[in-house]
Amino acid sequence: TVEELQTALESFDGCALRKTATNLVFTDGNPDAPVLLIGEGPGAEEDRQGLPFVGPSGKLLDKMLASIGLDRSGVLISNIVFWRPPGNRTPTPQEAAVCMPFVERLIELVDPRVLVALGGPAAKSLLAQTDGVGRLRGKWFSYSTPGLPRPIEATALYHPAYLLRSPGQKRPTWRDLLEIKNKLRAGE
Ligand code: URA
């Protein structure tokens, strides 16, 4: 279960970020939800509370979800690394690689209808693409692992922290959110 995976992470020593972080930040929301959102890594507020997306970008993420009728009871939220990178730097490829087996297992356990990468670093590692998020958003990919019964439809959104700095990108993000809503509705 997701809870057991968290217990395993609590005793996992393989990620150096753990040494500088206050708390493990794993998931928030509903493990049975049809939507799994994966961000880049915890920030200061997330590190304090031990929950993903509870700072300023989390507030915007909640608004983005509300715009398509979702809240945290209808999604599960996590990150590609589970401890805060010092100074909020981007996780190194090695830090992301060490956490990736846990991310993959999380995706298998949740087996969502739609997988959404938030921002460039999450999009690159989850979708195995080299393009930036500006080229990946608005497109659909197929995410598969040997442990999944079938491939999962996956896409990317601009990171909410980026949208706070570049509000002009909210318009295309609104279209992307509607596409996600449509995918969910199509499979009902
Ligand atoms: N940004 C992220 O990518 N993840 C969080 O949990 C918070 C901010």
65 Cα: distance to centroid of ligand 1 (angstroms): 15
Binding site membership of 47 for ligand 1 (Cβ less than 6 Å): no
Q: Where does the pLDDT of residue 37 fall: very low under 50, low under 70, confident under 90, or very high at 90 and above? A: very high
Across the range 125-152, mean pLDDT stands at 96
Please count the residues of the chain.
Answer: 188
Strand order of the sheet with strand 114-118?
28-29, 75-79, 35-39, 114-118, 152-157, 141-143
pLDDT digits (tens, 9 = 90+) for 41-97: 999 999 999 999 999 999 999 999 999 999 999 999 999 999 999 999 999 999 999
Neighbours of 165 (CB within 10 A): 8
Binding site membership of 42 for ligand 1 (Cβ less than 6 Å): yes
Binding site membership of 39 for ligand 1 (Cβ less than 6 Å): yes
36 Cα: distance to centroid of ligand 1 (angstroms): 14
179 Cα: distance to centroid of ligand 1 (angstroms): 22
Predicted TM-score (pTM) of this structure: 0.97
pLDDT at residue 188 greater than cutoff 80: no
Across the range 168-186, mean pLDDT stands at 97
pLDDT at residue 127 greater than cutoff 80: yes
pLDDT at residue 187 greater than cutoff 80: no
